[in-house]
Amino acid sequence: MSHRDYYNVLGVPRNASADEIKKAYRQLALRWHPDRNPDNEEAAQRFKDITAAYHTLNDPEKRARYDRLGPLYTADGRPPRPEELNEVVGSFLGGLFRRKSDSKGEDLRYTVRVSLEEVSIGAEKELTIPRKIRCRTCGGDGANPNGGRETCKICNGTGRSTGPRVFRSECYHCDGKGFKVLKTCEPCSGEGRYTHDDVLKVKIPPGVATGQKLRVKGKGDAPAGSGVEGDLFVIVNVADHPLFRRRGDDILVEIPMTFPELALGADVTVPTLEGTTAIRVPAATIPGKMFRLGGRGLPKAGGRGDLHLQVVLDVPEQLTEEQRLALARWAQNLAPSDHKRRHAFDQALKERQT
């Protein structure tokens, strides 16, 4: 099926004579012939399109069928398949509502690293984002502002082909811009945009988590030509903390304590997201015991999570001979029943062995 307006491809009116069609084809074929444009994929495709258009419009019978069927035309005369009909209808409906200004620049992604303290209260980060901005010299069209562009004569500056409404598309000769570039803009080398390091301040809301995306509208790349800038997506990465571990909106802290502190009880200074506080660990506290400080965790809907403090036994890795003897004497002074959990465990083992 034909997906292009062949009259627009050759740049001739719909009532063009056979001589006008042949003349246009020769001029375009000479310009885009692969031999004159080696290793140029665009030239190869244009030459293919031009040849297809000429072979159709140069044949009176094929031209008549093409004029009658428009985008439903097939070179071999077969009827269009259902999926091809759907494609034509979709293309037509899209053309009704699509505007040139609908083009959008590329979205950008940037990863920002934040601490748990910043997650707790929020933060403002200054980011340097290399992004493509619209050239201020040419306004984004890529043409030298001093006579570097001319109106496309094929579409008369509309940027659209002039065929039947169902077949209208971007002008083949100006790629829908409505003009041709005669002399490129020097600052952007004709691209209409250039790379610039943009310094942005991005607010990190409280309670964010690793992987969360923050959208900054219009701070992506500018498109080549007209259109709107893409968006910047800031990806949050919450850094590991030397003291805190996150569990959703709650925070877990392990508090290393010595055996005497656990056995006798102690007042212990513990960290919080805001600083420090003190808790009382009662006597005979077992390792693994959890203490909860309500509302001292991370922000959540309607409040804050909790801070969980888990005591762990810190066992010395090396002892002097004097310390080992003192510890052995202390152990000998204890009866088996003094360690209730160990005593119950040993009794259960004996029962399994009998």
Give the pLDDT confidence score for residue 227 in this predicted structure: 84
Give the model confidence (pLDDT) of 146-163 as tens digits. 988 899 888 888 888 766
Higher pLDDT, 92 or 187: 187
Distance CA 131, CA 109 (A): 10
What distances in angstroms separate CA 47 from CA 84, 199, 328, one per listed residue? Answer: 24, 45, 95
Give the model confidence (pLDDT) of 8-45 as tens digits. 888 888 889 999 999 999 999 998 998 989 888 888 99
Does the pLDDT at position 94 exceed 50?
Answer: yes
> What is the amino acid identity at position 226?
S
Distance CA 156, CA 1 (A): 27
Phi-psi region of 27 (alpha: psi -120 to 50; beta: other; left: phi over 0): alpha
CATH for the 6-98 domain, from 3.30.70.270, 1.10.3720.10, 3.40.50.300, 1.10.287.110: 1.10.287.110
Full-model pTM: 0.68
Task: Provide CB contacts within 8 A for 185, sequence distance 6+.
Answer: 135, 137, 138, 141, 142, 143, 144, 145, 148, 192
Task: Please tell me the CATH code under which domain 108-148+183-238 is placed.
Answer: 2.60.260.20
CA dihedral 169, 171, 175, 180 (to 10 degrees): -160
What distances in angstroms separate CA 88 from CA 63, 66, 332, 345, one per listed residue? Answer: 19, 15, 93, 79
Band (pLDDT 50/70/90 cuts) for residue 340 is confident
Residue 180, beta-bridge partner list = 150
Domain 244-353 has CATH 2.60.260.20: yes
Give the pLDDT confidence score for residue 100 in this predicted structure: 47
CA dihedral 204, 206, 212, 218 (to 10 degrees): -30
Give the model confidence (pLDDT) of 39-66 as tens digits. 888 889 999 999 999 999 999 988 888 8
Q: Which of 94-103, 172-181, 248-257 has the highest mean pLDDT?
A: 248-257
Distance CA 123, CA 299 (A): 13
Residue extents of the structural domains in the chain: 6-98, 108-148+183-238, 244-353
The yes-or-no answer to whether 6-98 and 108-148+183-238 have a common fold is no
